[in-house]
Amino acid sequence: MSRTTQPILEVDGLKKYYETGGSFVDSLLGRSNTVKAVDGVDLTLQPGETLGVVGESGCGKTTLGRALLRLIEPTEGSVTSRQRNDDGTVDELDLTELSSSRLRDLRTDLQYIFQDPFSSLNPRMTVGDIVGEPLDIHNIASGEERTQRVEELLDTVGLNRSHAYRYPHEFSGGQRQRIGIARALAVDPEVIICDEPVSALDVSVQAQILNLLSNLQEEFDLSYIFIAHDLSVVEHISDRVAVMYLGEIAEVGTTDELFTAPRHPYTEALLSVIPEPDPGWEGNKILLDGEVPSAINPPSGCRFHTRCHRVIPPEDLSIEQETFRSVLTLKLYARQAESTTELVTLGGTGQLQEEYDETDPVAVDRVIRDTYEIPSQLPDTTAEETVSTSIERLVEAEPPAAAEKLDEVFVSPCEKQRPELEQTAETQVSCLLYTDEYNTGQPVVTDQTGDAAADD
């Protein structure tokens, strides 16, 4: 035990890998794959704070939340929980090392609110029993004392005491989420992981639940990890925000800093598409190409390089950054396309916009350059020769050979180097643009208005 003002929860190098194709025959044939759902996450949660965790669907945020409390077993890493005692001392425990019985005892301090209020409540139990169950499991209260505690908890979350005798199906989505919150509060926890707690609810009900969570935090001195895909919700409730991409942390900072001046290109893109109250507002929307890649075989180097609008061109190529991005996209799509027409549809709207002769070099050159927004003539001779040769290979219907040609010249440092989470003056960011090697001194930062501003 020691006296400390350290984080109440500290996550270090947390990983959660899954094996797919796990049958005996799969393993004989070497067909199993590793899904790197969470891949080396470091985070801290301070006492009394709300840390938002955001990212697109499939980024690993729910897996992270569950691995933190060992609802699923992490593959590697540590989760240090610091429990405050009444005398001011602190017990420090690594959750990943605890036996299941010790972990169950500790669950009175660490609770989880599930995403779906419709499936997370046992339909055969009364609300009183759902909320009272943790009191039974942890021998906290029984008999009259239990009944009283359940009624108090229902009061606390804005439900009626009479609701204790009813069943979950008799309640609306918002009311069910209140039941889930009451259940989490029953054991008087210090930390609650809220996993998309409002995403299944109507907007008006969302605001009520968010306000309830804020009030409860103040009243009971709670610390939250708040997982969500909706940035407006996260902005509303969080003190700090961690942005996740493909199992890794891209950026962490205070909500103000991160929403005013995002550093990481992924954060920048996410914020640029938050709907504005003004329907006529166009702003500088950054529309990312494609979907989040598979966590089975994540991209090399920076995992975001396949979609990043700021991807770094190689030093020895004299080319506009935007043009480099276009050629890189052509290269990445050519690796997976089975025909030139497929390559055209992949890079376009998903449908062939015009018929063209796949054997005509001039037609193929025009269609490919139009589709991928590559100028008809690149100023750099090597770059132009490489693109022209690769397009010739497309006329021969060999997209992978075209990709190979482009790979001789069009290789970004972002494909080769995996950035670490670096501390900048404002946020922690995992992007080569903020390292000494590639930082020009004034990386472009976009403020909320969509205007570019110099970072100082």
Which residues of this chain interact with ligand SF4, rule CB under 6 A? Answer: 265, 302, 304-305, 308, 310-312, 414, 419, 431-433
CA distance 116 to 130: 15
CA distance 386 to 331: 11
Residue 292: other Cβ atoms inside 10 A? 20
Q: How far is the CB of 429 from ligand SF4 (least distance, A)?
A: 8
Q: Give the residue with the Cβ less far from ligand SF4, 172 or 321.
A: 321
Residue 333 sits at φ, ψ, to 5 deg, of -70, -35
Q: Give the residue with the Cβ less far from ligand SF4, 61 or 303.
A: 303
CA distance 60 to 195: 12
Are 259 and 420 spatial neighbours (Cβ–Cβ below 8 Å)?
no
Q: How far is the CB of 306 from ligand SF4 (least distance, A)?
A: 8
Are 329 and 371 spatial neighbours (Cβ–Cβ below 8 Å)?
no
Q: Give the residue with the Cβ less far from ligand SF4, 109 or 268.
A: 268
Q: How far is the CB of 21 from ligand SF4 (least distance, A)?
A: 30
Q: How far is the CB of 11 from ligand SF4 (least distance, A)?
A: 22
Sign of CA dihedral 92, 98, 102, 103: positive
Sign of CA dihedral 423, 424, 430, 436: negative
**What would you measure as the largest C-alpha separation in the chain, in angstroms?**
85
Q: Give the residue with the Cβ less far from ligand SF4, 328 or 409.
A: 328
CA distance 262 to 269: 9
Q: Give the residue with the Cβ less far from ligand SF4, 50 or 267.
A: 267
Q: How far is the CB of 328 from ligand SF4 (least distance, A)?
A: 10
Q: Give the residue with the Cβ less far from ligand SF4, 231 or 414.
A: 414
Paired tokens of 15: 């990983």
Q: How far is the CB of 54 from ligand SF4 (least distance, A)?
A: 16
